Amino acid sequence: MPPVRRAFQAGRPWTKVIRPFGQAKEGGEGMRGITAKFLRTVMTVALATLALQAFAAVSPGSGTSRAESYPPAWRQVWALDTGRMFKHASPTLADIDGDGTQEVLVGNTNGVFYCLDHNGNIRWAYNTGAVIQSTPLAVDCDGNGTLEIFFGSYNGYVYGLNYLGQPLSHWGWPKFAGTAYGYREVFPSPASGDLDGDGDLEIVVGNWGTFVTAWHFQGPLMWQYQNHDTIWSSPACGDIDLDGKDEVVIGADCWSGPYWPWPRGGLLYVFEENGSIKPGFPKCLPQVIWSSPALADLDRDGFPDIVVGTGLYWQNTNPGQPTYLPYADGKHVYAFNYRGENLPGWPVNTGDNVFSSPAVADLDGDGYFEVACASMDSWLYCWEHDGREKWKQRLFAVQKMGSPAIADIDGDGDMEVLMGEGQHLAAYEPSGNRVLEVHTGQNIFNCPAVGDLDADGLTDVVVANGIDGETGRVIRYEAGRWNPELAPWPMFRRFPDHRACYPHQEVPDLWPASEVRSRSYLAEGYTGNGFQEFVLLMNPGPEAATAQLRYLLGSGLSVVKVVNVPGRSRCTVYVNGSVEGQDVSTVMLSDSPGIVAERSLYYRYAGRHGTWVGGHDVMGTDTPRQEWYFAEGCTRPGFHTYLCLQNPDRSLSTPVTIVYYCGDGSVISREATLRPGSRFTVAVHQEGLGIGTQDGPRGDVSIKVVSQLPIVAERPMYFNYAGAWDGGHDAMGASEPSTEWYFAEGCTRPGFHTFLCLQNPGDFPAEVNIEYLCGDGANITRRVTVRERSRYTVAVHGEAEGIGV
């Protein structure tokens, strides 16, 4: 929805003027000449119990009738009065100059952005000339040891400053975030992330002008997306699909209409590196999303999940108002996986809409995250990872528009959840017991920040508050012993870089190595468009077995799926259901003996001259090795050959040498490095690590793979043979050469072509006897010589060295 000009002022109605996509200003033309037939008019909504109003009945002015409670050593250190209210903009604590102490960074409704030192002195101030309700991002973009600072303002600009408060004009900052329908305000807070995986940061923000914009930190525009409705939500940046690149997750409003494909309500977007929307998104929710998402792996599968609240626009009780939406429902906090699916137990219910943004931490040390978030129903909620309510608490029955922070403020080794409640600051232990209740004198509409400003080993808590039209203060309190390990979400958007994300954490194996009784390794796998991958597990034993599948990705990260296999039975695991659109290798472990793993892959492969349809299958190997041999490979036109290499060691990288023995006698070597715990793909038919397409004997290739550490290697091939037959096949490599090989299958009937591929990796020619045992009882012998370090192909359906058709 377009922005609230005087939102949440005590005793005043909440009023905003709204204009839909394409609708003209009065007396003007519609945007891009479009005339909208639906109307959005002036609307007035009275918040029945504003935080200020409700609190005034409990603790008027600065004198409170309640007995305050503090943890040991709690004291106020200083307070700075700026004369204007701090509203929605939360303080960020960061050591911007690298001197070992933290600065306080915060914007004010007077248009001034303040940098305070740990003593409360104004180190510098920057005047934007417009209201600031955006919380500042601070991050070292260029690696010089000092932090760059980014924040938005109501004038539509995102400002970039250095640690001295000087504009980053050499990079082109400030940047205009876009305007539509007369709105431009940058209410949301910017985030940083490496969207393209190049090691440099991008800066991302939304605005009331309806745009989501990503810039390279050096200034060039990366991409911009127009939502055609206002955006209040601040983005989160994190690699939620583990492809090595950060996605952008952000909420938005949705008015809908004839030019917009989604229904009225709210939208939760996930954007890829190029600004495209990730499959499975946006999620269409029955309320606007003004809450800002958090990213954390709630279900411990290895993928960060998305947690977000809602907003305050749509209502379902008064059909006469333009805000009426019959299915409006914002009384939830949602949790989605990276595919856009609800996590088990989510969404959870609240008593009212949720403007607050969630904070996430493992509060009780059980190995799973808890989620804390407040609601307009006056309660601060805490949920378990699976959506079960852990507790809910409130100090006063006031609508809560701020967001919680999580840190150990009293030095007792337990984290507390901190929350502004009216003019008070409260803190709750993991059990929900309240340990802090302090009156700050003015209203808190944002999130407190926790750190150690002066590096004295004691915890500092900073609050920015105010009363609209009167004054605003930044207050520093000091409390117990500081432990940064117990401050996992110490401020709005978690850390100064505003990623609001717990990065991927490797899930440990279910069993120590000494208890594993079955292992199987599969190097190949792909879950991209047109491919469906299955891992098939057989349990020949009489008792049910538990199997762990660890999927190793090209990014060097892994995720885990645990399945149960009944006794004397088979279990089919759909890999695409866990990993989408990526190369994937699999390691199967079980504490039961005899568990067998096999992988089938069905595909529509986009070949050079059309789509090749088929499937292939391979058994897993139980042992990684340092050498692998493949007699077959072809890079002639119409053939695509790949090498799939798996490094199951999750702690060490390994160099790999790939030796190609070509049919024309040439030998070509390539070098590669496999990252720890990763899958690596070599396109043999391409230049670089392969040999390229070769129209002749050079394209018939055998392969030897040599690794410093034990690895697993497979060789899939896709082909259009003779312009008539298309398909593919796959093979696990041989672990060593041998003087005898046996093949049960072979057919030279009409319509069948059978080949025998021979590889001689040795330094001397090899004399090879080929014995054909035919179905009619005939035995036919042929003799060939395979040159040293060479590949030789026998057409079994040919007369010379085979048996003919």
Domain identity same for 685 and 793: no
pLDDT for the residue 34: 24
pLDDT for the residue 399: 94
Read off the pLDDT of residues 601-626 as tens digits, 9 standing for 90 and up: 999 998 766 788 999 999 999 999 99
Closest CA to 464 of 90, 77, 94, 10: 90
Domain identity same for 775 and 630: no
- Cβ 101 vs Cβ 117: under 8 Å: yes
Closest CA to 184 of 156, 157, 159, 211: 156
Domain identity same for 713 and 786: no
Structural domain including 776 reads 738-805
Domain identity same for 721 and 746: no
pLDDT for the residue 61: 37
Read off the pLDDT of residues 102-132 as tens digits, 9 standing for 90 and up: 999 999 999 999 999 999 999 999 999 999 9
- Cα–Cα distance, 375 to 290 (Å, whole number): 12
Judge whether 547 lies within some domain.
yes
Over residues 56-72, the mean pLDDT reads 55
Dihedral angle computed from the Cα positions of residues 682, 686, 692 and 693, in that order, rounded to the nearest 10 degrees: 120
Q: What is the CA radius of gyration of the chain?
A: 32
Model confidence at 724: pLDDT above 80: no
pLDDT for the residue 609: 65
- Cα–Cα distance, 738 to 759 (Å, whole number): 10
Query: Which of 736, 760, 784 is at the close of a domain?
Result: 736
Residue partners of 264: CB distance under 8 A and separation at least 6: 254, 255, 256, 314, 325
Judge whether 115 lies within some domain.
no
Judge whether 330 lies within some domain.
no
- Cβ 713 vs Cβ 705: under 8 Å: yes
Mean pLDDT of the chain: 91
Please give the distance of CA 685 from its chain centroid, rounded to a whole number.
Answer: 33
Model confidence at 488: pLDDT above 90: yes
Domain identity same for 586 and 655: yes
Model confidence at 13: pLDDT above 70: no
Model confidence at 62: pLDDT above 50: no
Q: Among 39-48, 111-120, 661-670, 671-680, which stretch is predicted with the lowest mean pLDDT?
A: 39-48
- Cα–Cα distance, 84 to 470 (Å, whole number): 6
Query: Which of 721, 736, 751 is at the close of a domain?
Result: 736
Model confidence at 52: pLDDT above 80: no
pLDDT for the residue 65: 52
Q: How many CB atoms lie within 10 A of CB 60?
A: 11
Judge whether 799 lies within some domain.
yes
Domain identity same for 693 and 749: no
Q: Which residues are bridge partners to 17 per DSSP? A: none
Give the burial string for 535-564 (b: 16+ CB within 10 Å, else e).
bbbbbebeeebbbbbbbbbbbbbbbbbebe
Judged by DSSP in three states, 338 sits in coil
Name the strand (E) or helix (H) holding 56: helix 51-56
Model confidence at 19: pLDDT above 90: no
Model confidence at 22: pLDDT above 50: no
- Cβ 625 vs Cβ 711: under 8 Å: yes
Model confidence at 392: pLDDT above 90: yes
Tally of structural domains, the chain: 2
**Pairing state of beta strands 332-336 and 348-349?**
antiparallel
- Which is higher by pLDDT, 41 or 171? 171
Domain identity same for 693 and 775: no
pLDDT for the residue 260: 87
Judge whether 23 lies within some domain.
no
* Alpha helix (H) residue ranges in 652-763: none
Q: Domain holding 619: CATH number?
A: 2.60.290.11
Q: Domain holding 798: CATH number?
A: 2.60.40
- Cα–Cα distance, 385 to 294 (Å, whole number): 13
Read off the pLDDT of residues 541-578 as tens digits, 9 standing for 90 and up: 999 999 999 999 999 999 999 999 999 999 999 999 99
Judge whether 103 lies within some domain.
no
The structure tokens 């309500």 sit at 265
The encoded tokens of residue 451 equal 């750190």
Domain identity same for 669 and 710: yes
Percentage of residues in the chain with pLDDT exceeding 90?
Answer: 88
Over residues 326-352, the mean pLDDT reads 98
Domain identity same for 545 and 644: yes
Model confidence at 66: pLDDT above 80: no
Domain identity same for 687 and 636: yes
Judge whether 692 lies within some domain.
yes
Judge whether 671 lies within some domain.
yes
Domain identity same for 671 and 776: no
* Cis status, amide bond into 319, omega within 30 of 0: no
Query: Which of 710, 736, 762 is at the close of a domain?
Result: 736
Read off the pLDDT of residues 428-454 as tens digits, 9 standing for 90 and up: 999 999 999 999 999 999 999 999 999
The structure tokens 């952000």 sit at 250
pTM: 0.88
Read off the pLDDT of residues 581-602 as tens digits, 9 standing for 90 and up: 999 999 999 999 999 999 999 9
- Which is higher by pLDDT, 757 or 52? 757
Domain identity same for 669 and 587: yes
